[in-house]
Amino acid sequence: MSTYSAPDATQGEIAEVWRRCGWIVHDLHNAAASFRFAWRGVTHSGGLPDLLATLGPCHVWIECKTPRGQVAPAQRAFGERALDGGEWWVVERGAGDALAEAQMYRDRALGVMRGGGQQWH
């Protein structure tokens, strides 16, 4: 019996939007089943975002959800840990959200790569 789950219906379109904006997109959806991490004294099972987008030295963790999909506690904990560590983490609910954020983070990443001194947050 497989422990893999089907990706959210929005994952493919979200990944494609980020790719069109110049990002390399890695599908991590099935890796989440065996992922474990400790955060604030609690060990979480799962929580790894569905996608990891990279552009040069910059990356964005992307949790894909349907418009009404809920972010699970382990997913929220991963996001908090990432943000506290100075990383970029977003919850995407469709192509419209993805386009605006992919462009915004692309501009930030290009600023970082050009030495523009932009902060990660």
| pLDDT tens column, 5-27 | 666 788 999 999 999 999 999 99
CA–CA separation, 69 vs 86, rounded Å?
A: 26
pLDDT at 33: 65
Q: Please write down the HEC assignment for all residues of 25-75.
A: EEECHHHHHHCEEEECCEEEECCCCCEEEEECCEEEEEEECCCCCCCCHHH
Which residues, given as ranges, of the chain have pLDDT below 50? Answer: 1-2, 120-121
Domain ranges for the chain, please list them.
Answer: 24-113
| Assigned CATH topology for domain 24-113 | Trna Endonuclease; Chain: A, domain 1 (3.40.1350)
| pLDDT at residue 28, rounded to an integer | 85
pLDDT for 26 equals 92
